Structure formats: C-alpha cells, structure tokens
Structure 1
Amino acid sequence: MSTLNSRYDVIIVGAGPIGIYASTRLAEAGFSVLVIEEDAQIGKPRFCTGLISKEAFDQFPLPEGAIEEEFSSATIFSPSGLKLRLKSKGPVYATDRTAFDQGLYHRARESGVKFLLNCRCLALKVNNDFAEARVAMEALERTIKADAIILATGIKYNLHKFVGLTLPPGFLDCSQVQTAGRPMEGIEIYLGNSIAPRSFAWVVPLKKNELRIGMSTYQNSVSFLKALLKKLSLKGDFNIMRRPIPLGTIKNTYTDRVLVVGDAAGQVKPTTGGGIYFGLLCADLAAKTIIDAFKAGDFSVNR
C-alpha cells in the first residue's frame, strides 16, 4: 500500500460492475478515484445469471465481448404443466460475468482509476471536511481520506452502520449452478410453490450445451434447486452457489459525503431481482451527484 495516496477525490468500496462503472464516470470527469475490493481478482467469485438487456448495452458502454448468447423468447412453465412462450421486444444477452466485469475494469484503469485488490475496508468515518476509510491488506492497516465515498459492496452491508445507514427490509434466498445439459431453444422459467415457493426458477442455455440453472425462494433455495435438477434429469457433483437478493431499497441511500448504489442499496429489478441495469442507472446518478457536489463545494445531504 506504499504507492497509495493518502487522499483521493472519491473512494469507491466494491469492484463489481456497478462500482467500477461509477469509478469510470468520475475518472473521466477528471477526479482521482480509488476502488477498494476485498477479492483478489475482478469478477471472481461470480454469482449472477448474467442476463442483460440490449437496452443496457445501447445505453451504457458495456463490454460486448462478454456476450455469450442472444435470446428473443422465453418459455414459462406453469404449476399445472402448461407452457407459454413469450417473445421479447428486444434481445436479451447471456453474458460471461467474469469477462463482463474485467472488461469494465480495464476501461476504468485506462481512465485513470486506481484499484486496491485483496483489501478489506474495515470502517468508515465522516468528518466535516472529508470522509475516511480504514482499510487492511494482509497485516497492514491504514486510513485513506476522500471528499466522497460510494458504497458498492453488493450484498455485504457491514459498512452501513458506520454512517447510520440501514439494511434492505428483506431478502430472497437464491441458488444457482452451471452444468452440462441438453440443447435448448431459449430461456425457460418455472413457476409454482412446489418448485420455487413464492418466486421462480430459471434455466439459461449457453454454448456447448452448458446450462445456467437457478432459483430464488424465501428460504431453502439449495434444497429446491436440487429437486429441480432431479426433475430435469440432471446428475452430477454440482457446485451450487448461494447468495441473498435484497427485497426493497434501504431507507436512505445517502448521508453526508456517502452514497450507496446497486445491491448495497437494494436497487434491483422488482420482478426478477436482477441488479445490473438498475445498478448502472443509479451509478450514473451517483456520479452526477458527486460531480455536482464538487462544483458546489458542498457534500452534505442538505445541499
């Protein structure tokens, strides 16, 4: 950490796609930006269905090289076994989330963003004239100052309490696996309390007959996913990944000198729980808010 500055214009905690995109917007506007990420590699571990609309690619400069498949329809299976095929107004892309995140990362670095990987942010503190982040890398700890901080920590909320912010009102339990499977024409959606209680399950076909299969429920998603895999006649030693999805936004997504974006703020699509498009929209707004705060010389909530 010896090459780090002691102060930046903006610190962003979290190097997922939302945090990285916000960092690029700010760096391109001429600000010094440091991104702190606790994982050692960008885009790993990954947990995301990776479905992103064409609208998002049209609206934001996203890495098109991360696109794996394109879909224009989905088949919905009802609890009684009826099938309904729906066509979308525009294509939806299945992406390789590791490649997606790394593409955003390379653009951010080219824009001048500094990254501190394999580094934990331990605490935040807001003062009258600056905010500060206490960070740890291996056995070393230090404090870094900034005029503003963006929390883009995904589903990790341990820093919220330091600045008086709350958690989302609830969570869905989500599990997913990627495995070899059968050829499919498009996305499949499964409904019913016997499959995914009060929510839904999905099957997304990828290249080489790979399938991305997952579901969200209010509890026990791993058990229900295993039952779905059996129903689909899929066998193997599955590497099931599990994580919560926020249900609803936090009460306030801001305080003096601090903004929260993405899953960390509960900014996800209310129908599917997807967070990339809404997160990018909110990252854009957060960057604009900080740019305006620098112009006004005022980072308080009362500006």
Structure 2
Amino acid sequence: MIETDVLVIGAGPAGSAASKHAALGGANVILIDKKSEIGTPKRCAEGIYDHGLKWLNIEANPQWAVQRINGGTIIAPDMTRLTLDERVLPEKGYIIERKVFDKYMAMDAARAGAEVMVKTLAKTIKREKGEDFFSVTCQQMDESIDIKTKIIIAADGPESRIAKALGINSTTKPQDMISGVQYEMVGVNCERMDLIELHLGAFADGGYAWVFPKGDDIANVGIGVSSASKKPAIEYLDEFIKKYPPLNNAKAVELNVGGNPIGGLIGQIYDDNLLVCGDAAGQVDPVTGGGIILGMLGGMAAGKVAAKAIKDKDYSASRLKEYEVLYDEYTQGAIPKLAVARDVYLSLDDNDLNQIVNAFIGLDLKNMSLSDFVKVFFKLSPRLALKFRKLFKIIL
C-alpha cells in the first residue's frame, strides 16, 4: 500500500497545476495518468493568452510556445473582416504545441515535489464507513497497486468518471457539449500568420470555425458544432476548408477530434476528501470551448486548498469549500457570464452577425470605452439590443 496526502487523477494542465501547487504547499502528492505519454492525443486548438500565463506565474518557453499571436480577426458570414490586432488590443498570446506543453506542466509538478506515474489507471475507489481516506486500486502496466490518500483531486476530463464514482453528478447534457474536429495543416496562406481567425455563421451550426497559425505555413484549422448537428463535425469542417481561399492548397498532417463541455461549472466541485478541477469541473469557456487557463486556475486553487487542508488535518467538505470561493476569485466569476454570452450568440442569425461586425468597421476601437461599445449595439436595432440586454446587465 502506497500512502500519500493528495492523489491527483489526470495529468492534463489542470491536474498538473493542482499537483504542483499542492506539493508547493507542503503536501505529499502523487499524480497519475492512464496514458503512457502525457499530452496525447491532442484535443485542443492550442491558444493561450499572456494574462493567463501571468496569473499562473508561468513564463512562455519556446519549446512549447511556437507562435506569437498579436490579436485576431473575426470573419462575418458575408466575409467582412474585423481585425483586432496590436494596434487595438493590449492582450497578446501564443499558439502552443500542446503535447509538449502538457509534459512541461507535469515536469513542473515533479520539480515541485509531486511523484508522477504514467500508464496508471484508477480502477476502483473505496472508503469504509468512518474512514477519513480513500483506498484507490490502480492498474499500472501489468501490475495492480493500491494507494491510500486523504484527498483526491479529480482532473480526468469531461464527464469525470472519478467524480461520478464518488457521488458527484458530472454528466454533461447533450446540448451542453460541442463536437470539435481539427486538422493540423501545412500550406496555409492566411493574410496574417500572427493573428487567429474566428469564422462565424450558420455554416458552423451553432458554433464557429477557427484558423490558429502555428508558424511558417502551418495552422490548426477546426470547427466546433452543436452535438445535435445532423452531420458529423468533420463534414462541416471539410466544407469550410473547400470554400475558404487561404486553405485551397493546405494539406492535413494530423486529425484531432473530441467533445468539449460548454455548459459551465458542474453543480458541485468539492465534497468530503474530494476536489474536482479542469474539464471535469466544467471549467471551460462556454463561448469558445477553451479551457487551458480556466482549468489550470482551477487546478491551482484546488492544489492550494488541498495543501492547507492537509496541514489542518481537516478534509471535510466544509473545509474544502474554500476551493469554490478561491476559484471564483481567480476567475472573477467569468464562467457564468460567458454562459450568458453564449446564449446570446446562439440567438443570432447570419444577418445579425453581419450587422454587428459591420457596425464596428472603421471605428476607433482602441479608444472606445465599454459604454461606447454598448451604444453601438443599441444603435443597430431595438431587436438586437434586446438580445444583448441580459449580457449588458451582467458586464456593466
């Protein structure tokens, strides 16, 4: 029997962040992952932003930060392009090599003192009545091992199997899941390879398409569509690629598929001896489906709270409730607000999107205040203004 203070299940960015900060807080930590190679398979468009790295106290490393991004271009259904680059936005970011990034985050956890076990699958979790710890039986290679832990941090992805086994409803409703598919392509010829592109419209069936440059003529080209779509996501993506001129000569060298939860936080992200973070907790942007930074902030909060609970020798839900408070503080309550923004987006048709994008063309975006942006929406039409009313109430 191996004994530890904290067992983190899942070595994605959120799990590695949880392991790192729990170890830095003085806890004995074991991080396990069922895969033999951390970071595979890739299920991500691979974009991160500078402020997120700053919040996490992570410096960009050229080993994984492969392309500097100076902003983005929003493309309306009528192909009007609204570019928000370094002349307008102070925020910059990177396209990363996710397979390398995930390994580096796990290495950071190991350097902080966590023990990392790959090819290790949690099979069964038991807690006898009156006990203040879990007994976890794992399959490691061809060997069965038992781990005794005071706290489990579940970071095992969407619809967490671990959280569900421990009594938390982690099921994602079909309408709260988007189907994503992406090619890594070579031969891409976008107008600017230092800007991401977001393509909006009904062609994406409730989602959007993206082109995320990775350096030279390489880019991630993908689409996210409603899980209720009548066609497979890859058919929507192939149609988009055929119609978009900068991709006429592009060729796919990798295919990534997966589902992203966009319904916001699951109802409960902590319990006695248990914390849930990352995709498992629904710590994902409901608008874009992006979850690297939001998930890692969840991991950081979970790790810090777990370490404090170990020192206090109190692993009860009432002690671990601090995690929920700390995460809300780190993210400034962003996820519920973004969920409202997604509802607004889903209510817009192609004409609405064309109107909105065209309304901002030629404006001095750099010097516009938030109230100035709101005024633009109200000038469009009463019908559109009404759709945005609930969102404006939250952000103003």
Place the TM-score, normalised by the shorter chain, in its bin: over 0.9
Q: How does 1:1-303 map to 2 (within 5 A)?
A: 6-62=2-58, 64-65=60-61, 66-87=64-85, 88-127=89-128, 128-155=131-158, 157-166=160-169, 167-169=171-173, 170-184=176-190, 185=192, 186-194=195-203, 196-219=204-227, 220-232=232-244, 233-234=248-249, 236=251, 239-248=254-263, 249-303=265-319
1:4-48 Cα deviation digits (max 9, x unpaired): x61101000001111111111111222111111011012122221
CA gap of 1:237–1:211, structure 2 versus 1, over 3 A, is closer
Structure 1 portions without partners, runs of 5+: none
1:264-293 Cα deviation digits (max 9, x unpaired): 111111221111111122112212221232
User: How much does 1:240 deviate?
Assistant: 2.3
Moved more, 79-88 or 169-178: 79-88
Q: Is the 2:6–2:150 Cα contact (8 Å) retained in structure 1?
A: yes
1:114-156 Cα deviation digits (max 9, x unpaired): 1111111112233422012221123322321101000111235
1:197-225 Cα deviation digits (max 9, x unpaired): 11111001121200111111113211111
User: How much does 1:234 deviate?
Assistant: 4.5
Moved more, 136-145 or 21-30: 136-145
- Percent identity, please: 28
Q: Given residue 189 of structure 1, which amino acid in structure 2 is its aligned partner?
A: L
Larger Rg computed on CA atoms: 2
* Partner-residue secondary structure (3-state), 1:240: strand
1:38-90 Cα deviation digits (max 9, x unpaired): 11012122221111110012222335222111122211111122221123331
Moved more, 284-293 or 251-260: 284-293
Moved more, 121-130 or 46-55: 121-130
Q: Is the 1:120–1:136 Cα contact (8 Å) retained in structure 2?
A: yes
**Partners of 1:142 and 1:99 in 2: CA distance:** 28
**Partners of 2:124 and 2:200 in 1: CA distance:** 42
**Partners of 2:142 and 2:42 in 1: CA distance:** 26
Greater percentage in helix: 2
Moved more, 133-142 or 197-206: 133-142
Q: Is the 1:63–1:104 Cα contact (8 Å) retained in structure 2?
A: no
Q: Is the 1:262–1:278 Cα contact (8 Å) retained in structure 2?
A: yes
Q: TM-score by structure 1 length?
A: 0.92
Structure 2 portions without partners, runs of 5+: 320-396
Greater percentage in strand: 1
Q: TM-score by structure 2 length?
A: 0.71
Q: Is the 2:177–2:259 Cα contact (8 Å) retained in structure 1?
A: yes
Q: Is the 1:6–1:145 Cα contact (8 Å) retained in structure 2?
A: yes
**Partners of 1:60 and 1:252 in 2: CA distance:** 24
Q: Is the 1:168–1:251 Cα contact (8 Å) retained in structure 2?
A: no
**Partners of 2:183 and 2:95 in 1: CA distance:** 15
* Partner-residue secondary structure (3-state), 2:258: strand
Q: Is the 2:7–2:31 Cα contact (8 Å) retained in structure 1?
A: yes
CA gap of 1:260–1:30, structure 2 versus 1, over 3 A, is same
Q: Is the 1:14–1:37 Cα contact (8 Å) retained in structure 2?
A: yes
Q: Is the 2:188–2:250 Cα contact (8 Å) retained in structure 1?
A: no
Q: Is the 2:134–2:148 Cα contact (8 Å) retained in structure 1?
A: yes
**Partners of 1:54 and 1:126 in 2: CA distance:** 42
Work out the number of aligned pairs and report it: 298
Q: Is the 1:183–1:205 Cα contact (8 Å) retained in structure 2?
A: no
User: How much does 1:237 deviate?
Assistant: 5.6
* Partner-residue secondary structure (3-state), 2:238: helix
**Partners of 1:125 and 1:246 in 2: CA distance:** 28
* Partner-residue secondary structure (3-state), 1:269: coil
What's the RMSD between the two structures over aligned residues? 1.8
* Partner-residue secondary structure (3-state), 1:132: strand
